[in-house]
Amino acid sequence: MPLDPVAYSPYADPDDFIREVTDLIWVDRSISFIRENYEPDSIVHGAYGTSTTRDEVIQGTLMRISATPDRTGQAEDVIWEARGDDAFLSSHLVLSGHLQTSEYSRTIANCLYRRGRMVEEWVVRDTLAGALVRAVDLDELARMQAFRGYTGTWTAPAPVDPITVGDSGPRPDDHRPEVERVIELIQTVWNDRDLQKVEKFFHRDLVLLTVGNRLVIRPEGYRRALLRFLESFPAGQFEIRDIQANYDVRYAGLRVAVTWRFVGDYAGVANYGPLTGKPVDVLGISQFTFHQGALVKEVRLWDDIALRAQIAGMRGDEPVHLGNIY
């Protein structure tokens, strides 16, 4: 079913819509445009929990722009997919930094737009990247934030068949072989821990871009990066919450975006300070790129500072105050 232009008007398509609207708000500083762009009761699931009002998005955007006035972002990828005939779900990978610098970070914002208005969003930022450049105390930075917790769709059980229906609703059955391959990767390698099987899914010359601006290469590098995360939560599991697939030569062909949730007790290696034995709830997004049927690249983001803040809150570390949830 073709997508009605009401979904992205007055722009050329959802890709153009996302890039131009984001620039208008974040680069041109038209923060007030959020009132036209977001529904009043829009829902945003971020690393610190769920916000449920447009005003909170406006206030949070203002604080972020004010805190980093010299930073500029631009689209590195936009993976969009229709949700019915008047809506789409986009996965917008944003690369941001100064105009000429080696200091940069990535954000992925997955937005559900219906008839040109944002109704629900899932967003993750690589805050670890900037913290490492500034050489700040990561645990001290985490203690200055409070994890609010999630409400709404994020608290519901994971979709039974995310190929058919995700948190954003029913999806078209596009690029099924590649979507099934990504789902099999997550189950086999991430959840079942059969790390030997990385080569089954990825080309030998793979690239993984992940938090802290880490660049990982080759299957063995991929295995070690996954182990590094899992060793602190050894019984944890990944849930697939939503999927988008899109082909566009602008972004190197076929890509598949996955919104995932990781839940696991902090009971393994104490990489985040003293163990709590309590579960963390991590919102993450991955974007996968295919070439000739094999995976060649993944961008995998979550907010590592927010993860530390969750753990610090469980321990009752001080001080803690409510910060910018958006």
Each residue's pLDDT, cut to its tens digit, for the chain (326 residues) gives: 689 999 999 999 999 999 999 999 999 999 999 999 999 999 999 999 999 999 999 999 999 999 989 999 999 999 999 999 999 999 999 999 988 878 899 999 999 999 999 999 999 999 999 999 999 999 999 998 889 999 999 999 999 999 999 999 999 999 999 999 999 999 999 999 999 999 999 999 999 999 999 999 999 999 999 999 999 999 999 999 999 999 999 999 999 999 999 999 999 999 999 999 999 999 999 999 999 999 999 999 999 999 999 999 999 886 555 566 67
The whole-number pLDDT of residue 316 equals 87
* Triad 87, 93, 98: Cα angle to 5°: 135
CA Rg value for the chain: 19
Number of neighbouring beta carbons within 10 Å of residue 213: 17
Alpha helices in the chain (DSSP H): 14-26, 34-37, 54-67, 127-134, 138-143, 176-185, 198-201, 218-230, 304-315
Going along the chain from its start, the domains and CATH numbers come out as 5-135 (3.10.450.50), 152-315 (3.10.450.50)
Helices 127-134/304-315 angle, 10° precision: 90
**With DSSP H G I counted as helix, E B as strand and the rest as coil, what are the percentages for the chain, rounded to 5?**
35, 35, 30
Strand, coil or helix: 305: helix
Alpha helices in 125-175 (DSSP H): 127-134, 138-143
Here the contacts of 298-301 (C-beta below 8 Å, separation 24 or greater) are 298/206, 298/207, 298/208, 298/209, 299/77, 299/93, 299/106, 299/108, 299/208, 299/209, 299/210, 300/208, 300/209, 300/210, 300/211, 301/106, 301/107, 301/108, 301/124, 301/125, 301/126, 301/210, 301/211
Whose structure tokens read 């690029």? Answer: 175
Strand, coil or helix: 293: coil
Number of neighbouring beta carbons within 10 Å of residue 7: 23
- Rounded to two decimals, what is the model's pTM? 0.95
